[in-house]
Structure 1
Amino acid sequence: MTSTSMTGNPRTLARIAGLLYLILAVLGGWAQLQARGSVYVEGDATRTAANIIEHETLFRLGLVADILMATVFVLLGLVLHRLLHHVHERAATALLVFVSIGAGSILLNLTFHAGALLAATRPGHSAELVLLLFDLHQQGYVLGGVFFGLWLLPMGYLAWRSPMLPSWLGVLVMAAAVAWVADPLLAFGLPDAPALIRTVVEVPTSVGEFGLLLYLLIRGVRPQPTTQQPQPTRSAALRR
């Protein structure tokens, strides 16, 4: 049985993964930057609560977008597992586990988004409670960076090891993983550090993730010769 028959068409799977990754980025970015970002006023409970009431539909759609994002995240993990499990089964399984936990953390953190909506639209609401729930969601979003990053470690390793993907891409993705995990450590461990530090840390995250997204979506995978045996990994010295 060939590698292609075991996993499906690798290029098709890779482009499906790239499309899912793009949908995930659009949904998550819109929910955070537009749906929540346009109503949140840091430190101003009254204006934040008033904005949620005024733009209730937008705020609800942000919640829906994040629910869909978590769903797409799991689908992305399943497709990548199918594409790369033959490269290293344990790494591919770790990827799927971290994705599942990350998606679960997204949904759990949305409790605060939903809570802010309920508190703001309830008669005689407390603006301070609305802002507190909103702030808790924001902090949870930062903490979620741990699992947003951890899934990229096995993904980067698989990309580095597989002949279907370039080794430089794997290195960039693993660097993005480290940056994702470093961000919440900086945010909570060094809250008074200059904002520039966190901005610099975000650079490898953007480069690694968008590099992976674009490569999967546009290139798919490298063409592989047809053979009756599974394709060897990049490094024969690396074994399960």
Structure 2
Amino acid sequence: MTIENQTARLAGFLYLTVILTGLFSLMYVPSQLIVREDPALTFHNISSSVQLFRLGIAGSMLCYIAFTLLPLVLYRLLKDVNGTYAKLMVILALISVPISFINLQNKFSVLTIIEGAGYLKTLNAEQLQSQVMFLLNTYNKGILIVQIFWGLWLFPFGYLVYKSGFLPKILGVCLMLGCLGYVVNVFSRTVVPDFSDYTIADYITLPASIGEIGICLWLLVMGVKNKKIGPVPID
């Protein structure tokens, strides 16, 4: 196996780690524990399944660690296509990591409330439930902010995939469209309070999902056979 294929497979593995841990922590765990319209039930669910909530936090940490390494590995693979775009891809991806980790503090604060810290005994049940929902909503707003960079890095990444000559162009197009979808989604949810009620809200990030899952599987299974680099990169 060539060094390029080893790099591609490593990138595919890291991408798969990001996808699986992201699905677990951002979709599965909340679907099992959080009921937006019912603070009491949400409090009860988390209290009775604290370990699952903790696993969700741990999953997020693994996701962000893998996402720190992913653009660095992709840079090694794609820097000869266009050095400037490769650097931009890394910068935009890495900006999201500290924001994501800081945002996790909201979930640790939920744990503090759920596990009944002594200084919280002066608060009644309704107040505690309200605090938990406030922290969870604040966490979701943080995710909305970080989605800007989850989207922006996809444009230079998609461009590099499209121009590479050794990765499918259609996946590059999907990634670039995914950037647009993420950005539109963030601003729409910020400006239009009930944007999530619109049908388009369920599909606007679909190109990103197709592009990211597709490139993940391609790198993991196919690698970069017949890799050919043309002119010297523009830095």
When the two structures are superposed, what TM-score results if normalisation uses the length of structure 1? 0.87
Give, in angstroms, the shift of residue 87 of structure 1. 1.5
For residues 144-184 of structure 1, the C-alpha deviation after alignment (integer angstroms, 9 at most, x for no partner) is 21111111111011111112223222111111111111111
User: 2:75·2:87 contact (CA, 8 Å) conserved in 1?
Assistant: yes
**Matched position secondary structure for 2:205:** helix
- State the alpha-carbon separation in 2 of the partners of residues 195 and 186 from structure 1: 11
Greater shift after overlay, 122-131 or 103-112? 122-131
| 1:211 alignment partner in structure 2 | 214
One-letter amino acid of the structure 1 residue matched with residue 31 of structure 2: G
1:29 pairs with 23, 30, 40, which one? Answer: 23
User: 1:163·1:222 contact (CA, 8 Å) conserved in 2?
Assistant: no
- Alignment map for 1:98-117 (pairs within 5 Å): 98-117=92-111
User: 1:120·1:127 contact (CA, 8 Å) conserved in 2?
Assistant: no
For residues 83-142 of structure 1, the C-alpha deviation after alignment (integer angstroms, 9 at most, x for no partner) is 111221121111111121112221111111111111222253611001100111122222
Pair 1:195–1:117, CA change in 2 (3 A): farther
- State the alpha-carbon separation in 1 of the partners of residues 194 and 55 from structure 2: 34
| 2:230 alignment partner in structure 1 | 232
The reply on whether 1:16 has 2:19 as its aligned counterpart is no
- State the alpha-carbon separation in 2 of the partners of residues 239 and 138 from structure 1: 39
One-letter amino acid of the structure 2 residue matched with residue 201 of structure 1: I
Give, in angstroms, the shift of residue 54 of structure 1. 0.7
Pair 1:9–1:112, CA change in 2 (3 A): same
**Structure 2 portions without partners, runs of 5+:** none
| 1:165 alignment partner in structure 2 | 167
**Matched position secondary structure for 1:221:** coil
| 1:89 alignment partner in structure 2 | 83
- State the alpha-carbon separation in 2 of the partners of residues 106 and 216 from structure 1: 25
1:222 pairs with 197, 222, 225, which one? Answer: 225
Greater shift after overlay, 118-127 or 78-87? 118-127
Q: Cα RMSD between the aligned structures?
A: 2.0
| 1:228 alignment partner in structure 2 | none
**Structure 1 portions without partners, runs of 5+:** 1-7, 226-230
1:201 pairs with 201, 204, 217, which one? Answer: 204
User: 2:155·2:176 contact (CA, 8 Å) conserved in 1?
Assistant: yes
When the two structures are superposed, what TM-score results if normalisation uses the length of structure 2? 0.89
| 1:134 alignment partner in structure 2 | 136
